[in-house]
């Protein structure tokens, strides 16, 4: 069901918006889930993928291969992973593009911006603060009723 009147539910418009999205929006769309251990450590389910993250491929012909992300090609909606390539008939090796939804991030390249993203998205912190707000509301309601 549609809740926001400013957003279209038309398939045509949704597809156009997706495929003509600018690079800044594509970054967000090209997110990958985190591995189980990272998910529990940071309380974050997924992150936009970036160069130098280490990933494990979980779908397709190259399933269970691991490697470092060598390039994020936003224009083609793919990432290139180290040692995932095929040989052309001329003998040259060409990297294979893999969609970021088909990989799991096993090691995060952390810098100050990435750390800030993880802190902002941390769900355990938001649950604690939301609990505090509810308690404060209950106390105010009790005081107001007396």
* 66-98 residue pLDDT tens: 999 999 999 999 999 999 999 999 999 999 999
Between strands 93-98 and 103-107, the pairing is unpaired
Question: What confidence tier does 129 reach under pLDDT thresholds 50, 70, 90?
Answer: low
Exposure pattern of 64-89 as b/e (b: 16+ CB <10 Å)?
A: ebbbebeebebeebbbbbeebeeeee
- Euclidean distance between CA atoms 35 and 42, whole angstroms: 11
Q: What pLDDT is stored for residue 7 in this prediction?
A: 86
DSSP 8-class letter at 95: E
The answer for residues whose C-beta is within 8 angstroms of residue 99's C-beta and 6 or more apart is 77, 78, 79
* 12-52 residue pLDDT tens: 999 999 999 999 999 999 999 999 999 999 999 999 999 99
- Euclidean distance between CA atoms 41 and 78, whole angstroms: 27
Overall pTM > 0.85: no
């Amino acid at each position: 069901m549609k809740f926001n009147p400013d957003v279209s539910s038309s398939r045509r418009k949704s597809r156009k918006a997706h495929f003509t999205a600018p690079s800044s929006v594509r970054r967000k769309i090209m997110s990958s889930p985190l591995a189980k251990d990272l998910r529990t450590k940071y309380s974050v389910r997924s992150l936009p993928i970036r160069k130098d993250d280490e990933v494990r491929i979980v779908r397709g012909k190259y399933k269970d291969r691991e490697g470092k992300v060598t390039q994020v090609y936003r224009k083609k909606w793919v990432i290139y992973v180290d040692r995932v390539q095929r040989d052309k008939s001329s003998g040259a090796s060409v990297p294979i593009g893999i969609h970021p939804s088909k990989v799991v991030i096993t090691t995060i390249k952390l810098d100050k911006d990435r750390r800030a993203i993880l802190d902002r998205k941390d769900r355990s912190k938001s649950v604690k603060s939301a609990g505090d707000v509810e308690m404060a509301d209950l106390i105010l309601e009790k005081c107001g009723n007396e």
